[in-house]
Amino acid sequence: MTMSTRSWRNLTFAAVLAGTSMLAATAASANGCPASQMGQNALGNAPTKPVGVTDTVLEQVDLAQQMVKLDDHKLRIRRLEIQPGGIVPLHDHADRPALIYIVSGEITEYASDCKVGIVHKAGDTSRDADLKHWWKNTGKKPVVLISADILHDPMDQNM
């Protein structure tokens, strides 16, 4: 078995394990939304421009060149730093599923499938697929997020 094949198998196993753990952890809620608050949120007054956000692509992989052969798709990992009062504006994940890990700080997410803001703290994760949402740092310290997503549209400027 080559090192590349072994790495892919290890990565696949880790992803399956993480996904299974995430599903078990969210049994009583949907992605952090309390079960009693799940429902439509129109997000009518959601901000549409970023404020105080630094978005850095750390690495990306062209998935057309990998086993999955997904033309025009990239797997990328990014580091976002959101300053106090900062906003990651309204965006959707219709064709860009993402997994987000909160490295430090505390941030509130406003999602289309939850009637209330969802507070995420350091160590939390968020699974973003098929929803619209935006984030705000209401704290006094910067928040650092790591986001891994599958990008299809290279012109997509969504956070």
Question: pLDDT band at 25, cuts 50/70/90?
Answer: very low
Distance (Å, rounded) from C-alpha 135 to C-alpha 3?
39
pTM: 0.75
8 by DSSP, 3-state: which?
helix
Please give the average per-residue pLDDT across 51-61, as a whole number: 96
CB 122, CB 107: distance < 8 Å? no
Give the whole-number percent of the chain exceeding pLDDT 90.
52
- Burial of 68 (C-beta count, 10 Å sphere; 0-12/13-18/19+): exposed
Could you tell me which residue, 31 or 149, shows the higher pLDDT?
Answer: 149
Q: What CATH fold (topology level) applies to the domain 32-151?
A: Jelly Rolls (2.60.120)
pLDDT digits (tens, 9 = 90+) for 117-142: 999 999 999 887 778 899 999 999 99
Residue 28 burial (C-beta neighbours within 10 Å; 0-12, 13-18, 19+): exposed
Q: What are phi and psi of 22, to 5 degrees?
A: -65, -40
Q: What is the pLDDT of residue 28?
A: 40
β pairing state of 143-151 and 51-62: unpaired
- Pairwise pLDDT comparison (89 vs 92), residue with the higher score: 89
pLDDT of residue 6: 58
pLDDT at 16 over 50: no
Cα separation, 99 vs 43, in Å, equals 21
Query: What is the pLDDT at residue 27?
Result: 37
| Burial group, residue 133, by CB count within 10 angstroms (0-12, 13-18, 19+) | buried
In which band, very low, low, confident or very high, does the pLDDT at 96 lie, cut at 50, 70 and 90?
confident
pLDDT at 15 over 80: no
